[in-house]
Structure 1
Amino acid sequence: MRRKLICTSMLIAIGTMNTAYSADSTLNSDIPIELDTLSVTASADASAEGLAPAFAGGQVAEGGRAGILGTKDNLDTPFSITSYTNEFIQDRQAQSVGDVLRYDPTVQVTRGFGNFQEAYMIRGFTTSSDAVAYNGLYNLLPRQYIATELFERVEVLRGASAFLTGANPLGGAIGGSINLLPKRAPNYDLNRVTLGASMNDKRNIAADIARRFGENDEFGVRVNAAHHNGGTSIDDEQAELNLFNIGLDYQGERLRLSADIGYQNNQLDHTRTNVSITGLSRVPSAPDASDNWAQPWSYSNEEDKFGTFRAEYDFTDDVTAWAAYGMRRSDEANTLANLTVTDAASGDGTFYRFDNTREDRVDTGELGLRGHLDTGVVGHDWVVAYSYFQLETKNAYAMDFFNTTNTNLYAPVYMNKPVISGSAFIGNNLASPALNTRTKFNSFAIGDTLSFMDERLQLTLGARHQAIKVDNYAYNTGIRTSYEDSEITPAIGSVYKLSEQVSVYANYIESLVAGDSAPSTALNVGEALSPYVSEQKEVGLKYETETFGTGLAYFTTDEPRTLTGNDNIFRESGENEHQGIELTLYGKATDNLKLLGGVTWLDAKQKGTGDATTEGKRAIGVAEWMAVMGAEWEVPQIEGLAVDGEVHYVSSRYANAANTLKLDDWTTVGLGARYLVNIGNQDLTLRARVDNLFDRDYWSSANDSGQITLGAPRTVSISATVDFY
């Protein structure tokens, strides 16, 4: 089946190329193509179209990347995409991906299991930070924390995306995927320095330098460097970050090239952990938001080196090929002391020492061919693509599970760093971690967007064949167990423009995740299940004027579940059913007033669990209601001054499958101000911000590992950005 699919697809591609060549009778390779230097913008990749233009107000873009379909305008795509601009990232003083996405009404920012990794819940499904894509390639940027100096934009593609982007190798992207776009040199000289500070003596400095060279400004260089150091709004926390990134690009007559080389070193000390509440009958009251129960000797260090290369070549005006490659090499080490609460009323609990070291080696790439042809009155934007991904992870740990120490959530007990005891569970050598997992993904995709009625009606058809291979190596023994399977995931989407300002759309698309292996307690121990296919159906409406836009979407997503039945056989059975409605809005309500936000209603139920205590209950950590409303006002009486405010609401959520542990709803308020003034040949931008204005104490999120996370306290930050000319 795989050979037939590949051969058929290649024949279609070759045939369409020949059609395109023959149709282009006016093409003459001896006639040079003039480059307009003014058209060189901050292109995020080696593409002819570059970045989608910013929408009115500059906070989001007019469109975003729909995977292998390329960059699409909002009204022309049968999917829901929001792309947050670098202007918005700077004005909100965002320092990580999570800081940007907390302004998205469809995304709940959470934390991963057992460490300080960011995670993002989209449509009720969690995508971790190591599942984020960089310029279309997965898992290239730092695994746990991605600083904003490394990217130009944050794109959120809501919904499943296996056809568009390939299956996420880390198992995310069921409810949506996140793509970060790298920085490129704009068509003007850029000399920017930013100084910042926040509570508890945290300081940061960043430089952003860019130039274009050549007769037609065809060569571009952009360099970003940053240093963050000091405390945080949480008592006694310390964080230090150093990064450097260089982005290169070349834009020729038919050939376009781009490359990135980056480095980030992130070090956390005495950082507040998640709280485990497994086994409790109720959720403990939230402590003071600035409290820190972490042990002073706990830390987490991560060092990442990464690079990408992308090329695009126009064979004709209608046929373009592209190739991309990316790599990441990472080293991690941490010593943790996570808190487990054993008494909700008093806050009594325990912790134990857990050490971990890890090395990652990622290599990934993509080849593709896209083009346009007409068959009568029907237009075709066709694409074929091949992608490859490999991740090798070396890991070692020391878990001193039986050597626990008493502490308290509200009155933490601090102690000297304990020595790992003889009863600890040891996996491999901490000083030299051994190969633990090798993951390989290969996929081939083919698609066609058909246009009718002068492009008022568009129909997208496509499918991707995904091959998955995972080799796991047992700790200490190195004994290998393997998983290998494949699946074809189709997609269909349609858009109809009712007018130049209104379009309606619908889609059916799937996500794909590698199947689990039966546990040691099952009769079929070690048996690998087929890949899990989640099915999404969505309908929506989009409305845009020149200054204001809004979107309304209804979706359903069914995620397969597993269980060990009464016959003690581990199998796929039941599903999580998520259905929801999303309303988003963006742009300018008046000449001086920008709006950004929306609301999400989500019903996420567990079905076919095989357990009466969980059947029909809500999924862990998923809020029924979530809303964000942000407004920015440019004060007309004072040139250069703008003030903004944001209200964020999340309804109650459950922290366990039986829905007996409930987190209260919460609301936070943020305020900010920006003042731009010209001093000689310099533009000075002063920014100030306060988040969680009323210092609300609240549990912000829960994960499916029985852990909850305390929300951040009131945080005040200021910065000054100077642009030299």
Structure 2
Amino acid sequence: MKSATRSRAFPATSTMRPSTLAALLLFAMSQSAMAQGSDGAQAADQPHEASLPAVSVTASQDTLQHLRDDVSSGALGSRTQLETPFSTTIVTGEELADRQANKLGDVFAQDASVSDNSNPYNAWASYITVRGMQLDWQNGFKLDGQPYNGYGITMPYEQLESVELLKGLSGFMYGFGAPGGVVNYVTKKPPATEKQIASVDVGYRSTSVWTEHLDLGGRVGPDSVVGYRFNATHEEGKTYNDGNVRRDSFSLAADARLTRDLTATFGALYQERHASGITTAISTARYTGTSLPATLSGGSSTLQTPDQHLNTNLQIYTAGLHYNLSPDWTLSATYSFSKSTRYRNEGTWYLLDQAGDYDDYRFEGKEGHQLNTFRVMAEGLVKTGPLRHQLVFGADYQKQTTDYGANSFYAQLGTGNLYQPNVNRYDSSGFYTYRAADVTQKALFASDTIALTERWSVLGGLRYTNYEQHGYGLDGSTSSTYTQNGVLTPTVALMYKLTPGTTLYASYVESLEAGNVVGDTYANAGQLLKPLRSKQYEVGVKSQNARWSATAALFRIERGAQYANSDNVFVEDGESIFQGAEAGADVRLGRDWTVGADLMWIATHYEKGSTNNGNRVAGAPGFVAAAHVNYAVPVVPGLTLGADAKFTGNTSLSPSGDIKVPGYLVMNLGATYTTRIAGHNVGLRAAIDNLTNRRYWEFQYADYIQPGEPRTLSLNARVEF
């Protein structure tokens, strides 16, 4: 239902030359030929099996909001969205391709509960606000249910099967995490049958970014015992703000059916990404005006300097065993290791006045994070008299380490003006890191979903966590320690099946989030803060029907408040309160039209603190509305046209509430076309984002803003073999 809401841009001097693309095509065709050699010429005899599905610009017209699809819920196991008593969203791989997502804000452009704070060309790539709360980049991101640190990471969206969002608190399901929610990226998996997968696609984004992507999958060995799915992507080019980007991404998912009941799995994702001339961060911490300076385009070259850069490396490896103990019980064990590193040279411009004057500060240094996790879990069904129990038991171990730059550079380079080229430069080398902090969680969890009748069910879950965090000095000595054993994070819910496709629910959940290491821009830089506790109350409804689907929820979230005080010390003080409502619906009108809308209203305030009591919480827009429409052109089979729009209301920029980011409306257009050419399935996609080239300020973080991205064009062509 939505066209792409962002576009990648890459230079015309792409290193993926036509010869390289030809090699990829030949490799894909060879895989296709091998498959035909083993199965006979099935592609020619059975073209209906290989044809591309009808594609819509934003959402599958067959499943609407995907409420019958499984969504990962951590310690609750996998259950459909209809069976999950929390607000959730699923964005499928086809929708990601149709939107041509380039950053996290693009992925959830259709969801009014999600506000876009992300930027594909600086360290804010994974920043979004959910229900007015920033996602926790330390604990809020998972890949196939396993955690990794998401700071500065732009994921390879073309290699994903889907992206899932659990809104709100996740304490029982995943352990420590901020109450904004959890994003789970699901990688493409091996096919369940012997059918081979082979496709190549080429994409272009203005101003000049080219992307090449290869997708291969199949099953091999006796009785197709081993399945594999391999994806590779290269993209490179000149970005819309006159910078440059280069990315190489690889992912592999494999499974082995060792016996009828025992399956082993393995997953790996590796990505190296370099972006130069990245967009500068703009801070209003020193701003003296009461309204923001005049807007400018996010594509303006005055917002970057060529010496600024962000180089990231992401590695995630997982291995697991899944055993069907009986028809009703399964056992699983999963281990994962993730490592992310950043080397960034990033400016922070402290705005001074409405004329756009600023003090120019620069940070350069290296940072890194590692996560080791292990989980064992048992899921099963039992009956006690008239009651049916869906039980989950398990244990988690997680250790996260944080490395910060031992010799990072942070200082003022000079001054400048937003509307004039910046002449200040700084670039060095030889930076290294030290172990700054580590966090260890050891947890036991259990839940029971009891079917009281055919319609009524109740869920109860409890996580028991021993938690320990340490901060370290440059010499390796322990500078701070926080330990708490026996931390309990419960969840309870009551569900009622109004019809087989409609669920009413009420739920309560608690959560703790790990203490943050204070950033370099604050007076208490390097301090390790204590964990924060949050509570969430929610009632809602989800309904999936043949021609329409709808969701709605009322929620209240109570969270410990964090902000920079008047002395620029980042403190924990008082509470942030979030109360709101969200609702969305998709409707299929006739044979060719699908329309949808999504709304969120939220009221927020600070309380129980030493300052800011009664003020709106920074980053929480009061109102957001999104709408989308798709039209399958009947006279051109395979052609679908789409349009979408999203309005984000004004947003308080800082806890003091003295400056508001004005509201803005962004509109997009898109089209997809599927056909067969020379016996191959071909898919063509086009999208224009920010159709009117609207200039606007976006909230990025408390006391930080960014200009909205300019009008961009995205094109993509995919061939299946």
TM range (shorter): 0.7 to 0.9
1:712 is aligned to 2:709: yes
Match of 1:304 among 301, 305, 314: 314
> Within the alignment, does 1:137 sit opposite 2:143 as a pair?
no
Maintained 8 Å contact 1:605/1:616: yes
Give the alignment partner of residue 352 of structure 1, picking from 361, 370, 374: 361
Q: For 1:104, what is the secondary structure of its paired residue? A: coil
Query: Could you say if the C-alpha distance between residues 452 and 468 of structure 1 is closer, same or farther in structure 2, counting changes exceeding 3 Å?
Result: same
| Cα drift, residue 530 of structure 1 | 6.4
User: Does 2:718 match 1:721?
Assistant: yes
CA distance in 1 between counterparts of 2:554 and 2:671 reads 35
Shift of 1:286: 1.2
Q: Distance in 1 between matches of 2:392 and 2:60?
A: 26
Matches of 1:257 and 1:295, distance apart in 2: 48
- The answer as to whether partners of 2:557 and 2:578 remain within 8 angstroms in 1 is yes
The TM-score normalised by the length of structure 1 is 0.84
SS for the counterpart of 2:117 is: strand
Cα distance in 2 for residues equivalent to 1:542 and 1:399: 49
Q: What is the correspondence of 1:534-573 to structure 2 with a 5 Å cutoff?
A: 534-561=534-561
Aligned-residue offset at 1:390: 1.2
What is the deviation of 1:619?
0.5
Match status 1:473 vs 2:472: yes
Q: Does the 8 Å contact 1:355/1:397 carry over to 2?
A: no
Cα shift at 1:311: 1.5
> 1: CA distance between counterparts of 2:478 and 2:75?
38
Q: Deviations over 1:492-526 (max 9, x none)?
A: 0111012223221000011212357999xxxxx99
Which residue in 1 is equivalent to 2:187? 182
Structure 1 distance, partners of 2:244, 2:136, is: 23
Equivalent AA in structure 2 for residue 501 of structure 1: G
Q: CA deviation at 1:636?
A: 1.0
Q: CA deviation at 1:360?
A: 2.6
Distance 1:667 1:517, change over 3 A: closer
Aligned residue in 2 for 1:257: 264
- How many residues align? The count is 648
- Which of 80, 98, 105 lines up with 2:105 in the alignment? 98
Matched ranges for 1:116-515 at <5 A: 116-130=124-138, 131-139=140-148, 144-168=153-177, 172=178, 174-186=179-191, 187=193, 188-214=195-221, 216-234=223-241, 236-251=242-257, 252-280=259-287, 281-282=289-290, 283-292=292-301, 293-344=303-354, 346-396=355-405, 401-417=410-426, 430-454=430-454, 456-475=455-474, 478-486=477-485, 487-514=487-514
Aligned to 1:26: none
SS in 2 for 1:90: helix
SS of equivalent to 1:656: coil
Q: Give 1:54 deviation, angstroms.
A: 7.5
Q: Is the Cα–Cα contact under 8 Å of residues 691 and 715 in structure 1 kept in the other structure?
A: yes
- One-letter code of the match for 1:299? H
Aligned Cα root-mean-square deviation (Å): 3.0
* Separation in structure 1 between the aligned mates of residue 528 and residue 433 of structure 2, nearest angstrom: 26
Report the CA distance between 1:141 and its aligned residue: 6.8
Please give the per-residue CA displacement for 1:256-315, whole angstroms capped at 9, x wherever unaligned.
Answer: 222112210010100112211113223212113321322211111011222111221111
8 Å Cα contact 2:281/2:347 also seen in 1: no
**Contact 1:543-1:550 within 8 A present in 2 as well:** yes
Rounded Cα–Cα distance in structure 1 between residues aligned with 2:218 and 2:210: 28
1:694 aligned partner? 692
**Stretch of structure 1 that moved more, 54-63 or 589-598:** 54-63
Amino acid at match of 2:364: D
Identical residues among aligned pairs (%): 24
Distance in 2, matches of 1:656 and 1:527, equals 21
Structure 1 residues 177-217: Cα deviation after superposition (integer angstroms, max 9, x where no partner): 11111211223211110101111211000000111234544
Q: Please state whether the residue corresponding to 2:154 is helix, strand or coil.
A: coil
Q: Residue type of the partner of 2:466?
A: A
Question: Which moved further from structure 2: 148-157 or 284-293?
Answer: 284-293
The offset of 1:477, in angstroms, is 6.3
Contact 2:163 2:186 in 1 (8 A): yes
8 Å contact 2:648–2:663 — kept in the other structure?
Answer: yes
Q: Deviations over 1:316-345 (max 9, x none)?
A: 11221111111123332111222221122x
What's the CA shift for 1:461? 0.5
1:72 aligns with 2:92: no
TM-score, length of structure 2 as denominator length: 0.84
Q: Is the 8 A contact 2:227 2:255 kept in 1?
A: yes
1:635 to 633, 636, 647: 633
* 8 A contact 2:695–2:710 mirrored in 1: yes
1:619-661 Cα distance to aligned partner (Å, 9 max, x none)? 1111011111122211111101001111011000111112111
Q: Write the distance in 2 (CA, Å) between the matches of 1:556 and 1:409.
A: 39
Would the aligned equivalents of 2:390 and 2:448 in 1 still touch at CA under 8 Å?
A: yes
Whether contact under 8 Å (2:471, 2:528) holds in the other structure is no
- After superposition, the C-alpha distances for 1:60-108 in whole angstroms (9 at most, x for unaligned) are 4523122222222233221222211111111111234332122222111
Do the aligned partners of residues 665 and 380 (structure 1) sit closer, same or farther apart at CA in structure 2, a change above 3 Å counting? Answer: same
Whether contact under 8 Å (1:472, 1:480) holds in the other structure is yes
- Per-residue CA distance 1:223-262 (angstroms, 9 max, x = gap): 000001001222x121111011111013442112221122
